[in-house]
Amino acid sequence: MKRYILSITLVMFAAGTALSADTINLPAKNGNVAFPHSKHMAIKQEKGCTACHETAKGGKIAGLGKDWAHKTCKGCHVAMGKGPTKCDECHKK
């Protein structure tokens, strides 16, 4: 029984690690946004990393917030005709 519990704990730990590496939580009062970063790194589009970052090295985004996100995130989804554009598709309570 003890061993059974340990193996479940390990599986959960591994899954949690994978999630934190690929998905960035962007907190918002009206529901946090789970941003799939590696998925976006793989999307073929003109600007590459600088679609969101100031330089191709990436890192923290100084202007990140409601206005930036709705312009940058939603704007690109509308322009590409792919990705969520409705409030509750990004904001999950």
**Both tokens of residue 51?**
């679609």
User: How near is the Cβ of 68 to ligand HEC at its closest, in Å?
Assistant: 7
Q: Verify binding: residue 48, ligand HEC, rule CB under 6 A.
A: yes
CB 33 within 8 A of CB 26: yes
Each residue 2-21 as x (binds ligand HEC by CB under 6 A) or -, in order, gives --------------------
Nearer to ligand HEC, 12 or 68 (CB): 68
The distance of Cα 10 from the centroid of its chain, to the nearest Å, equals 24
Task: Out of 11, 12, 78, 80, point to the residue binding ligand HEC (CB under 6 A).
Answer: 80
In angstroms and rounded to an integer, the radius of gyration of the C-alpha atoms of the chain is 17
Q: Verify binding: residue 87, ligand HEC, rule CB under 6 A.
A: yes
Nearer to ligand HEC, 10 or 84 (CB): 84
Q: Verify binding: residue 23, ligand HEC, rule CB under 6 A.
A: no
Please state, in angstroms and as integers, the Cα–Cα distance from residue 38 to each residue in 9, 22, 44, 56, following that order: 26, 5, 12, 14
Q: Which amino acid is at 3?
A: R
